Amino acid sequence: MGVEKALDLLRGKPRLVSIGLEHFSRELARQGVRVIHVSWRPRERLEKDLEDILSKIM
């Protein structure tokens, strides 16, 4: 597989999305890096179960 996309990433400063620990987003922001944070929480089990059932029957 080609490595062009990876070399593109390495050429400049990365532009980040951080999903999960807010601590890591803050540590990136501290370095003056462009970072956006996506807060994450586990989906309710019921919601997940319903989705699994729907995906099986649809």
Partner 1 sequence: MPRVINIVKKGLYRDSVYLLHIGEELRKVSGVIDAFIAMGTRLNKDLMLREGFLTSDGEDAGENDLIVALKLGEDADIDNISRLVEELLTQHGARGLEVYEDLDLALNINRDINLALVSIPGRYAREVVMKLLERGVHVHLFSDHVPIEDEVAMKRYAYEKGLLLMGPEAGTSIIGGVAIAFANAVRRGSVGVISASGTGLQEVSVLLHRIGLGVSHGIGVGGRDLSREVGGLMTLFSIDVFENDPGTSIVTIVSKPPSREIQHMIFDYIASRGRKSYVTCLVGGEIEPLDPEASKRIVQTRTLHAAVLEAARITDPSLYSEAQKVLSIDGKTIKAIEDAIAGLREGQRYIRGLFTGGTFAYEAMVVLGRFVGDIWSNSPLRDDLRLRDPWKSYGNTVIDLGGEEFTEGRAHPMIDPSIRLKRIVDEARDPEVAVIMLDFVLGYGAHRDPAGAHVDAIKRAMEIAREDGRRIAFLAHVVGTDQDPQDLASQERILRELGVIILPTNATMALAAAMISLRRSDMDLIDMFSREFLRGF
CA separation, residue 22 to residues 13, 15, 17 (Å): 20, 16, 11
Q: Is 56 in the site for partner 1 (CB under 8 A)?
A: no
Which x/- pattern over 4-43 shows residues binding partner 1 (rule: CB under 8 A)?
A: xxxxxxxxxxxxxxxxxxxxxxxxxxxx-xxxxxxxxxx-
29 CB-near residues (< 8 Å, 6+ apart): 35
CB of 57 to partner 1, least distance (A): 20
Q: Are 38 and 19 in contact (CB under 8 A)?
A: yes
**Smallest distance from the beta carbon of 12 to partner 1, in angstroms?**
6
Q: Which residues bind partner 1 (CB under 8 A)?
A: 1-31, 33-42, 44-45
